[in-house]
Amino acid sequence: MNEYRVYKHPNSKIEAVKVGWSWPGAVLVGFWALYKRLWVPASVALITSLLLHGALPFANVPFLFDLVCAVAFGFFGNAWCESNLLDRGYESVGSAEAKTPDGAIAEYLRDVAAAPRTEERIEPTFNIEN
C-alpha cells in the first residue's frame, strides 16, 4: 500500500498523487512529464537530451545527463505534480492509503460519504434601510 495525497478541483475533478519516489517519472522522464502536464521540466529534459545526444553521440555526457534526469524525476516528480495541481486550482483535501491512484480516490470518496453530515443553518440577514 502506498500513501497518496488527494486533490479536488472546484469543477469536482479529483486527482491523487503518490507520496515519495515516482517510478514512471524515473523510467519515462520527459514523456511522463508531458503526460502529467509538467511543461517546463519536460521541455528541459527532452530538448537538452536531444541536443546532447545529437552533438555528442558517443560521449558519456548525454548518458550521464539522462541518469541525472531519471533520478531527479523519480525523486521530485510527484512533488512537481502536486505543485502543478495547486497552480491549476486544485485544493488538497486529504490523503489515503491505497495500491493505485484510483484506489486512493475511491477511499477518499468512501470517507467523504461516511462522514457525518452537519447541517449548517444559515441565518437570513435583513438589511432594512430607512
Closest to 30 measured CA to CA, from 19, 40, 20, 22:
40
pLDDT tens, residue by residue, 69-126: 999 999 999 999 999 999 999 999 999 999 999 999 999 999 888 877 766 666 656 5
Task: Tell me the pLDDT of the chain averaged across its residues.
Answer: 89
Cell (9 digits) for 35? 503526460
- In this prediction, residue 56 carries a pLDDT of 80
pLDDT of residue 71: 96
Percent of the chain with pLDDT strictly greater than 70 = 90
CA angle 28, 33, 35 (to 5 degrees): 95
Residues listed for the chain: 130
Give the pLDDT confidence score for residue 115 in this predicted structure.
77
Residue the block writes with cell 453530515: 117
Cα 93 to Cα 126: distance, rounded to the nearest angstrom: 34
Rg (CA), the chain: 21
Ramachandran angles phi, psi of 64, nearest 5°: -65, -40
Side chain identity, residue 31: F
Could you tell me how far CA 6 lies from the centroid of its own chain? Answer: 9
Place of cell 452537519: 118
Q: Which residue has the higher pLDDT, 67 or 57?
A: 67
pLDDT (mean) for 26-33: 93
**pLDDT for the residue numbered 120:** 62
* 33 contacts 25 by C-beta, under 8 angstroms: yes
